[in-house]
């Protein structure tokens, strides 16, 4: 191939709609330095690159790229082969994976696309690869993610004087021939995006399963001796018990302000003869502990089950006439039932963490009924979403967090009293309460 043809091929592979460059060059004193000229790559730049006058790196466009490079920063052919095998497992054809020398101590694994792909897709692919423990243990990076540049092959690494030849993907022996670049064929960008979509979907399914298992083996209300929290039994226990209680409250879904207030309320219930600190010191401690709990922990998955109710104490709850009036603002029977359910749980727990499916099972409704009800009740101001759920990381592990709902309570007389275990037979409970209200009217 003529040098001009090689340059054209490099531009087609690495420069999607042209790309900004970064290059390595030799200063007058013989030292090597990098420079960002803040302009796009030209043919002249690439001629200098092939001639060894400078070592070009390419950024790609702001959001798109025509290539993906996995930069393996270790001289380990086994690691390169392991990554290639894993990439093939994900759906990328082996003959669309190209490897070159970095010119120093590692390798570059390249995949090229027939059209631009989003850099976020590259980032997702890399993250999914690293989920494999063996792959994650390898010292390698992915380019071009964000505004990062990577060296183009076939030039000379000016730090070492070594030319960055492409290598045979099986033997990893250098192919010391510029003409090899003519054999490189990009893969379909749409096919790659589909691979990333499939990997993301599989990863999310795995994360949800792991999150559910973490929820089962993690936090449980029975870890707290009773609904009032742990009991102070000796001098010197206060700080540690406040810390434990703050973790419990945070994993229940409480925010910083709520944790701080609950900690102060807990202190007020303890034997004052066992507390040596001043109220100012305790208040300062509560603020610090609440901040720490919110920073370190995320709310866990938490289902209200009968056993959990018994752990806290079934007890009684009350509803006020104002609660009932708020519930009756809902326009359909199903929506009134959902409003009533959330009201009851908020009276008992302070908030409602039931999933859509649990709500639908309680009220005996069809799929999507809970979603539609929540939407209308929020629009009417009957309830509000205190925090949105989704997948979060807690202690480095995926945890599935639920939406947290609060009922719009107003002050009123505690008129209607009920035993909370009645909620197990929700439909009958709801009808009885509504019947009592109608009889009084």
> What is residue 316's predicted lDDT score, i.e. its pLDDT?
64
> What is residue 107's predicted lDDT score, i.e. its pLDDT?
94
Question: Residue 117: enclosing H or E segment and its boundaries?
Answer: strand 107-118
The encoded tokens of residue 419 equal 């035993």
Distance CA 343, CA 145 (A): 47
> What is residue 296's predicted lDDT score, i.e. its pLDDT?
77
Which DSSP string corresponds to 250-306? HHTT--HHHHHHHHHHHHHTS-GGG--S-HHHHHHHHHHHHHHHHHH--PPP----H
Where residue 18 falls among pLDDT bands split at 50, 70, 90?
Answer: low
Instruction: Encode pLDDT of 377-410 as tens digits.
Output: 999 999 998 877 665 555 556 666 678 889 988 7
State yes or no: pLDDT of 195 exceeds 90: yes
Q: Which residue has the higher pLDDT, 3 or 420?
A: 3
pTM over 0.75: no
Give the three-class secondary structure for 70: strand
Q: Where are the beta strands (DSSP E) in 363-437?
A: 383-387, 390-394, 397-401, 404-407, 416-419
Query: How do strand 383-387 and strand 32-35 relate by DSSP bridges?
Result: unpaired
Contact 76, 178 (CB under 8 A): no
Instruction: Encode pLDDT of 158-191 as tens digits.
Output: 888 889 999 999 999 999 999 999 999 999 999 9
Q: Which residue has the higher pLDDT, 55 or 173?
A: 173
Instruction: Encode pLDDT of 234-280 as tens digits.
Output: 888 888 889 888 887 877 667 788 888 888 888 888 888 888 888 88
State yes or no: pLDDT of 308 exceeds 60: no
> What is residue 439's predicted lDDT score, i.e. its pLDDT?
60
What is the pLDDT averaged over residues 186-205?
89
State yes or no: pLDDT of 97 exceeds 80: yes
Q: What residue ranges define each of the domains in the chain, with the CATH number in brackets? A: 3-192 (3.90.920.10), 221-296 (no CATH), 306-440 (1.10.10.10)
Beta bridge partners of 25: 33
Contact 218, 405 (CB under 8 A): no
> What is residue 300's predicted lDDT score, i.e. its pLDDT?
53
> What is residue 301's predicted lDDT score, i.e. its pLDDT?
42
> What is residue 33's predicted lDDT score, i.e. its pLDDT?
66
Q: Find where tokens 């008129």 sit.
A: 415
Where residue 224 falls among pLDDT bands split at 50, 70, 90?
Answer: very low
Contact 270, 244 (CB under 8 A): no
Would residue 324 be called left, alpha or beta, if left means φ above 0 and alpha means ψ between -120 and 50 degrees? Answer: alpha
Q: Which residue has the higher pLDDT, 344 or 227?
A: 344
Instruction: Encode pLDDT of 138-157 as tens digits.
Output: 989 998 887 778 888 998 88
203-223 burial by CB neighbour count: b if 16+ within 10 A, else e? eeeebeeebeebbeebbbbee
State yes or no: pLDDT of 129 exceeds 50: yes
Rounded to the nearest integer, the mean pLDDT of the chain is 80
What is the pLDDT averaged over residues 37-63?
81
Where residue 311 falls among pLDDT bands split at 50, 70, 90?
Answer: very low
Distance CA 29, CA 187 (A): 44
Contact 362, 426 (CB under 8 A): yes
What is the pLDDT averaged over residues 310-331?
71
């Amino acid at each position: 191939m003529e040098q001009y043809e090689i340059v054209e091929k490099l531009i087609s592979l690495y420069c999607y709609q042209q790309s900004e460059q970064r290059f390595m060059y030799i200063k007058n004193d013989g030292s090597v330095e990098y420079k960002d000229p803040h302009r796009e790559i030209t043919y002249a730049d690439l001629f200098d690159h092939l001639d060894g006058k400078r070592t070009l790196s390419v950024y790609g466009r702001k959001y798109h790229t025509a290539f993906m490079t996995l930069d393996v920063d270790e001289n380990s052919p086994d690691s390169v082969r392991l990554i290639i095998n894993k990439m093939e497992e994900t759906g990328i054809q082996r003959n669309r994976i190209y490897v070159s020398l970095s010119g120093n101590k590692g390798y570059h694994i390249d995949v090229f696309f027939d059209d631009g792909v989003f850099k976020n897709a590259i980032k997702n692919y890399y993250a999914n690869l690293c989920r494999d423990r063996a792959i994650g243990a390898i010292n390698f990076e992915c380019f071009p993610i964000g505004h990062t540049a990577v060296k183009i092959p076939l030039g000379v690494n000016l730090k070492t004087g070594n030319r960055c030849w492409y290598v045979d993907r099986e033997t990893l022996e250098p192919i010391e021939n510029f003409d090899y670049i003519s054999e490189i064929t990009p893969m379909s960008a749409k096919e790659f995006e589909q691979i990333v979509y499939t990997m993301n979907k599989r990863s999310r399914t795995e994360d949800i399963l792991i999150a559910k298992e973490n929820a089962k083996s993690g936090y449980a209300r029975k870890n707290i001796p009773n609904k009032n929290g742990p009991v102070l039994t000796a001098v010197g226990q206060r700080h540690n018990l406040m810390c434990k209680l703050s973790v419990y409250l945070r994993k229940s879904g409480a925010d910083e302000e709520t944790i701080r207030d609950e900690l102060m309320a807990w202190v007020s219930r303890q034997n004052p003869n066992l507390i040596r600190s001043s109220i100012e010191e305790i208040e300062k401690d509560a603020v610090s502990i609440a901040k720490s709990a919110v920073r370190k922990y995320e709310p866990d998955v938490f289902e209200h089950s009968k056993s959990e109710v018994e752990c806290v104490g079934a007890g009684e709850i009350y509803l006020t006439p104002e609660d009932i009036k708020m519930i009756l603002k809902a326009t359909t029977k199903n929506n009134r039932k959902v409003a009533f359910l959330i009201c009851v749980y908020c009276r008992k727990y302070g908030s409602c963490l039931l999933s859509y499916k649990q709500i639908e099972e309680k009220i005996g409704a069809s799929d999507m009924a809970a979603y539609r009800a929540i939407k209308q009740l929020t629009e009417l101001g009957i309830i509000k979403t205190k925090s949105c759920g989704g997948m979060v990381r807690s202690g480095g592990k995926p945890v599935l967090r639920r939406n947290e709902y609060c009922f719009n309570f107003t002050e009123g007389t505690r008129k209607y009293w009920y035993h909370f275990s009645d909620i197990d037979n929700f439909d009958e409970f709801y009808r009885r309460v509504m019947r009592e209200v109608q009889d009084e009217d």
